[in-house]
Structure 1
């Protein structure tokens, strides 16, 4: 078996219409499909839902479920909010800056631009509390990815043994840390 690509990624939302409109306005995603049922097809559980699908570009699909009979959404209290997120790729830094300007002009609080060396990112939350990252490649991305590729297995093995951050790729955030 070989996975071809992600078919779609699904999250829960508080309000399907609000979510579709927000992603359309803030991230220019087209609304491509809606499915609504009174029973879950896989489990046959009686549970009405609205399932909406958005075009995230290049054949990628982001989906949401609104579940009106379930308790309000929550987060895993043991996972920091910065950990669980979805990241979307933009073409370049000017597109990233334009996106940041657009989001802020529409009242969205944006963190960044954060320089991760291989890419640059901004972070914000959608109306459901899901963390979103927009990232663009650094012009030297290919060279830096090759450097990271050379040490990935050593880093994983060291982490597995020690549970301490290996220093093989300290260079990635050295510039950011020197600015603090």
Structure 2
């Protein structure tokens, strides 16, 4: 067996309409629409690479919150948002217009990354690749280079 790619991610959310708005209107992800009734309130999103990359399932306002700090479970997921630092600067301006705070910014050598949270607190890395694929394939240690503050 060999994994070919990460196919999709499924997140539990408290309020589907609120999360649908965030992923569709703030992040600009296309929602996959269908006329099939679902057994639970849910919404799917795709960049066009595959049938869906993100599925949101509503669990309601009484769901337990994610515990803060170090814990077992997902830390964050990454979304590629462009090819250059100028595009990343535009992302910062876009997030500011939508009132979404940037929680962190890192230079990972192979990527430049911003960190935000969705309405339920799921951390999201928004990144651009800054090194060509052939460079990090030739020297995989670049992937684990020390993380530096990002200066846009």
TM-score in terms of structure 2 length: 0.78
Of residues 99, 111, 114, the one that matches 1:122 is 114
Query: Structure 2: any 5+ residue segments left out of the alignment?
Result: none
What SS is found at the alignment partner of 2:23? helix
Would you say the 8 A contact 2:104–2:116 is kept in 1? Answer: no
Would you say the 8 A contact 1:115–1:121 is kept in 2? Answer: yes
Structure with max Cα Rg:
1
**Which portions of structure 1, spanning 4 or more consecutive aligned residues, are displaced by more than 3 angstroms?**
1-7, 139-142
Number of aligned residue pairs: give it: 145
Q: Deviations along 1:52-93, whole A, 9 cap, x unmatched?
A: 10114422510111023x832321456269x61110112312
Q: Which moved more, 1:24-33 or 1:50-59?
A: 50-59
Query: Structure 1: any 5+ residue segments left out of the alignment?
Result: 38-48, 153-168
In the other structure, the counterpart of 2:130 is 138
C-alpha distance in 2 between matches for 1:7 and 1:120: 23
In the other structure, the counterpart of 1:36 is 38
In the other structure, the counterpart of 1:14 is 14
C-alpha distance in 2 between matches for 1:173 and 1:3: 27
Q: What do you get for the CA RMSD once the two structures are aligned?
A: 3.0
Equivalent positions of 1:1-180 (< 5 A) are: 1-33=1-33, 36-37=38-39, 49-59=40-50, 60-68=52-60, 71-77=62-68, 79=70, 84-92=75-83, 93-140=85-132, 142-148=134-140, 169=144, 172-173=145-146, 176=148
| Higher-helix-fraction structure | 1
